[in-house]
């Protein structure tokens, strides 16, 4: 469950807020597209939801935790329940693909045997198991993106956030990823995907959060959540 | 190798830095030990000696001097009474009177008799001497001993100050090196932080690496220090009491080690223990400093 109430975000040194009075809620186990033009605040909202920053005003509840007043230890545990596919992949260059993907499970204290089994399962599913011993710097953009997706999916997070997760993928891989998101939703994971890819949105119509100039743009929303469905072309 | 859950420390310069700091700290400690040994030797010698000067114009000079020597020899706690020869007195007074070749002294100037009394404990020599020879001047070397002791204490304080300064500089240097390393790996550290790594998980990995590199640097520093320490041991041999251990083997290697060890044997045991502990102290300082620097740095992240 995600609940934002009048949330604003003003990064230090910036004169005006990049998010203004956002109010929205997303029930557990639902999917949302996060749409809007460049500079609308999609990445800022994802930064809030991945706990990279705290709101400068308003109330934010994530997976049943009030983020605004949470301790560092609470935030740390909350982060372990969130999977994130960043647009720039954010892989650790000195580590192998396997170590990058295994990190979330290791942080949760999983045994090395389970970590290995799960990491290879997800790497095989994304067709990058043969790259397990490679360093991210030697991989193509698509391979790095699939590694980042594998790291986000491992351990079945309760909240999955993705920022343009298909921009380096081929169409078939993108469709397969959407199918995976669907499976996760059925298992109770909340999924929010930010994208500019209109074709992808048309292929999988779903409720959307549309941002414009740091606020919710659409007027036909309920509680700030867009109920607009993108029709299949 | 353990599975990575956080970036480690990247610093090629840390072991070199710690090696140099260990070398400096070792030199300061060795200097401190040397000063302590000398101060103890000086004050020990001065504490147990008294100088008595009998002016040459004292009536019945020779007889009364002889009587005083006999009295002193019978005094409990007095271990030896020695009258300086004319040549020794001339040498003693040479800075004021210049070198005199005539054994009788300077024309028109007769030399006083000088007695050096060695004793244990603190007999009241002044009273005893003045009972026999009121004209005699008693110079308690204890006062010089106290001054030497004061000088020795000042030198020791300076040496400790030097050791403390070196430790402070080492902590600052390690801190800056760790901070540079964290800044260089900022993105990786942020990635693991935002994936849910605890602050202690991140800091412990970096601190563990810092401790290992500091330990290695400390050992190298100790190795660099060993020739200096051996040289110091050779210099301190004249002040050493007790026989050094000897080699019981005919093996050349054993003999070499035994010879080296017998040289080190003259050094205070405390110094050897302090030097041996330097790499461990360096590792502890490295670990603590890295932990602190990383934990403080991580507080910037939400």
All structural domains of chain A, each given as residue ranges with its CATH number in brackets, are: 1-81+158-233 (3.40.50.300), 90-156 (no CATH)
Edge-to-edge strand list for the sheet holding A57-62: A19-26, A2-9, A57-62, A65-66
Question: Do B222 and B251 sit in the same domain of this protein?
Answer: yes
Residues in chain A closer than 8 A to B192 (CB atoms): 92, 103, 107
Residues in chain A closer than 8 A to B302 (CB atoms): 51-54, 75
Do A51 and B302 lie within an 8 Å CB cutoff? yes
Question: Do B219 and B102 sit in the same domain of this protein?
Answer: no
- pLDDT interval class at B271 (50, 70, 90): confident
Residue B32 maps to a domain: yes
pLDDT greater than 70 at residue A229: no
CA-to-CA distance for A85 and A94, rounded, in angstroms? Answer: 19
- pLDDT interval class at B108 (50, 70, 90): low
Do A75 and B302 lie within an 8 Å CB cutoff? yes
Mean pLDDT across B153-181: 86
Q: Which residue has the higher pLDDT, A50 or A203?
A: A50
Residues in chain B closer than 8 A to A93 (CB atoms): 188
- pLDDT interval class at A225 (50, 70, 90): very low
- pLDDT interval class at A226 (50, 70, 90): very low
Residue B212 maps to a domain: yes
Residues in chain A closer than 8 A to B187 (CB atoms): 90
Share of chain B above pLDDT 70, in %: 82
A53 touches chain B (CB under 8 A): yes
B21 contacts B173 by C-beta, under 8 angstroms: yes
Q: Please give the helix or strand (H or E) that residue B288 lies within, else none.
A: helix B269-298
Domain boundary, last residue among B103, B135, B167? B135
Share of chain B above pLDDT 90, in %: 15
Question: Do B100 and B164 sit in the same domain of this protein?
Answer: no
pLDDT greater than 80 at residue A42: yes
- pLDDT interval class at B216 (50, 70, 90): very high
Residue B141 maps to a domain: no
3-state secondary structure of A211: strand
| CA nearest to B79, candidates B54, B45, B55, B53 | B45
Question: Do B167 and B288 sit in the same domain of this protein?
Answer: yes
Interval A112-156: pLDDT, tens: 999 999 999 999 988 899 999 999 999 998 899 999 999 999 988
CA-to-CA distance for B4 and A233, rounded, in angstroms? Answer: 47
Residue B286 maps to a domain: yes
pLDDT greater than 50 at residue A223: no
A147 touches chain B (CB under 8 A): no
pLDDT greater than 80 at residue B44: no
Question: Do B275 and B192 sit in the same domain of this protein?
Answer: yes
CA-to-CA distance for B69 and A140, rounded, in angstroms? Answer: 102
The confidence score (pLDDT) of residue B250 equals 63
List the single residue in B5, B188, B302 with the smallest CB-CB distance to A53.
Answer: B302
Strand partners, A161: A84, A192
Do B3 and A102 lie within an 8 Å CB cutoff? yes
Neighbours of A120 (CB within 10 A): 16
Least confident among A66-80, B106-120, B167-181, B211-225: B106-120
Residues in chain A closer than 8 A to B181 (CB atoms): none
Q: Which residue has the higher pLDDT, A110 or B235?
A: A110
Question: Do B173 and B274 sit in the same domain of this protein?
Answer: yes
Most confident segment among A146-150, B135-139, B241-245: A146-150
Neighbours of B263 (CB within 10 A): 18
CA-to-CA distance for A128 and A151, rounded, in angstroms? Answer: 12
Residues in chain A closer than 8 A to B195 (CB atoms): 79-80, 103-104, 107, 151
The confidence score (pLDDT) of residue B147 equals 76
The complex scores an ipTM of 0.86
Question: Do B82 and B222 sit in the same domain of this protein?
Answer: no
Q: Is B65 left (phi over 0), alpha (psi -120 to 50) or beta?
A: alpha
Cα dihedral sign, A151-A156-A160-A165 = positive
Question: Do B234 and B87 sit in the same domain of this protein?
Answer: no
Do B5 and A50 lie within an 8 Å CB cutoff? no
Q: Which domain holds residue B221?
A: 13-36+159-298
Most confident segment among A27-41, A210-224, B64-78: A27-41
3-state secondary structure of B11: coil
Mean pLDDT across B12-36: 85
Q: Which residue has the higher pLDDT, A100 or B245?
A: A100
How many residues in total does chain B contain? Answer: 302
pLDDT greater than 70 at residue A203: yes
Residue B277 maps to a domain: yes
A116 touches chain B (CB under 8 A): no
The confidence score (pLDDT) of residue B100 equals 61
Question: Do B179 and B233 sit in the same domain of this protein?
Answer: yes
CA-to-CA distance for A34 and A37, rounded, in angstroms? Answer: 10
A51 touches chain B (CB under 8 A): yes
**How far is A212 from chain B, CA to nearest CA, in Å?**
26
Buried b (16+ CB within 10 A) or exposed e, A32-57: bbbbbeeebbbbbbbbbbbbbbebee
Question: Do B268 and B186 sit in the same domain of this protein?
Answer: yes
**How far is B1 from chain A, CA to nearest CA, in Å?**
13
pLDDT greater than 70 at residue A224: no
Neighbours of B200 (CB within 10 A): 14
Residue B151 maps to a domain: no
Question: Residue B6 has which token pair?
Answer: 């956080």
pLDDT greater than 70 at residue B105: no
Selected residues 1-20 of chain A with any CB under 8 Å from a CB in chain B? none
| CA nearest to A43, candidates A84, A5, A72 | A84
Residue B238 maps to a domain: yes
Q: Which residue has the higher pLDDT, B279 or B100?
A: B279
| CA nearest to B21, candidates B276, B270, B218, B156 | B218
List the single residue in B4, B7, B198 with the smallest CB-CB distance to A76.
Answer: B198
Residue B51 maps to a domain: no
- CB pairs < 8 Å spanning A and B: 54
Question: Do B74 and B126 sit in the same domain of this protein?
Answer: yes
Number of domains in chain B: 2
Most confident segment among A148-152, B27-31, B137-141, B250-254: A148-152
Interval A149-196: pLDDT, tens: 999 999 889 999 999 888 878 888 888 888 888 888 888 899 999 988
Mean pLDDT across B98-109: 59
Question: Do B166 and B293 sit in the same domain of this protein?
Answer: yes
In degrees and rounded to multiples of 5, residue A2 shows phi and psi of: -115, 130
Strand partners, B118: B49, B80
Least confident among A127-131, B37-41, B126-130, B289-293: B37-41
CA-to-CA distance for A188 and B5, rounded, in angstroms? Answer: 27
CA-to-CA distance for A125 and A146, rounded, in angstroms? Answer: 10
A94 touches chain B (CB under 8 A): yes
Helices (H), A108-170: 112-125, 141-153
CA-to-CA distance for B132 and A173, rounded, in angstroms? Answer: 116
Do B302 and A54 lie within an 8 Å CB cutoff? yes
Half-sphere exposure of A187 (CA within 13 A, CB side): 15
Do A106 and B5 lie within an 8 Å CB cutoff? yes
């Amino acid at each position: 469950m995600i609940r934002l109430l009048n949330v604003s975000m003003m990064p230090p040194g910036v004169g005006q807020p990049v998010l203004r009075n956002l109010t929205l809620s997303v029930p557990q186990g639902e999917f949302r597209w996060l749409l809007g033009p460049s500079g609308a605040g999609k990445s800022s909202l994802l930064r809030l939801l991945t706990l990279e920053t705290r709101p400068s005003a308003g109330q934010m509840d994530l997976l049943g935790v009030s983020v605004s007043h949470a301790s560092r230890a609470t935030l740390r545990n909350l982060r372990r329940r969130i999977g994130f596919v960043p647009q720039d992949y954010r892989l650790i260059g000195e580590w192998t693909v396997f170590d990058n993907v295994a990190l979330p499970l290791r942080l949760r204290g999983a045994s090395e045997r389970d970590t290995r089994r799960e990491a290879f399962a997800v790497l095989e599913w994304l067709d990058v198991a043969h790259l397990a011993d490679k360093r991210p710097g030697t991989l193509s953009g698509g391979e790095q993106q699939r590694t980042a997706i594998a790291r986000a999916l491992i351990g079945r997070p309760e909240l999955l956030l993705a920022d343009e997760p298909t921009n380096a993928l081929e169409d078939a891989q993108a469709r397969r990823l959407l199918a995976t998101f669907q499976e996760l939703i059925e298992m109770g994971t909340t999924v929010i995907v930010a994208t500019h890819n209109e074709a992808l949105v048309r292929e999988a119509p779903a409720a959307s959060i549309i941002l414009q100039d740091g606020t919710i743009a659409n007027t036909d929303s309920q509680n700030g959540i867009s109920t607009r469905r993108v029709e299949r072309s | 190798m353990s599975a990575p859950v956080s970036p480690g420390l990247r610093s090629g310069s840390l072991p070199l830095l710690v090696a140099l700091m260990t070398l400096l700290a070792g030199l300061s400690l060795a200097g401190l030990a040397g000063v302590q040994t000398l101060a103890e030797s000086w004050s020990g010698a001065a504490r147990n000696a008294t100088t008595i000067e009998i002016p040459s114009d004292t009536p019945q000079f020779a007889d009364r001097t002889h009587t005083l020597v006999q009295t002193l020899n019978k005094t409990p706690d007095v271990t030896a009474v020695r009258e300086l020869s004319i040549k020794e007195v001339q040498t003693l007074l040479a800075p004021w009177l210049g070198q005199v070749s005539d054994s009788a002294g300077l024309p028109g100037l007769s030399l006083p008799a000088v007695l050096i009394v060695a004793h244990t404990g603190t007999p009241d020599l002044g009273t005893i001497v003045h009972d026999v020879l009121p004209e005699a001047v008693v110079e308690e070397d204890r006062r010089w001993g106290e001054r030497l002791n004061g000088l020795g204490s000042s030198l020791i304080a300076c040496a400790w100050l030097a050791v403390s300064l070196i430790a402070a500089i080492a902590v600052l240097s390690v801190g800056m090196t760790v901070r540079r390393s964290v800044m260089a790996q900022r993105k990786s550290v942020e990635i693991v932080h935002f994936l849910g790594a605890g602050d202690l998980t991140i800091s412990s990995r970096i601190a563990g690496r810092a401790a290992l590199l500091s330990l290695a640097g400390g050992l190298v520093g100790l190795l660099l220090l060993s020739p200096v320490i051996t040289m110091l041991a050779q210099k301190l041999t004249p002040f050493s009491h007790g026989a050094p251990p000897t080699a019981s083997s005919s093996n050349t290697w054993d003999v070499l080690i035994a010879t080296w060890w017998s040289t080190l044997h003259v050094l205070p045991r405390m110094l050897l223990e302090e030097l041996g502990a330097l790499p461990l102290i360096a590792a502890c300082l490295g670990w603590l400093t890295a932990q602190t620097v990383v934990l403080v740095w991580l507080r910037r992240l939400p």
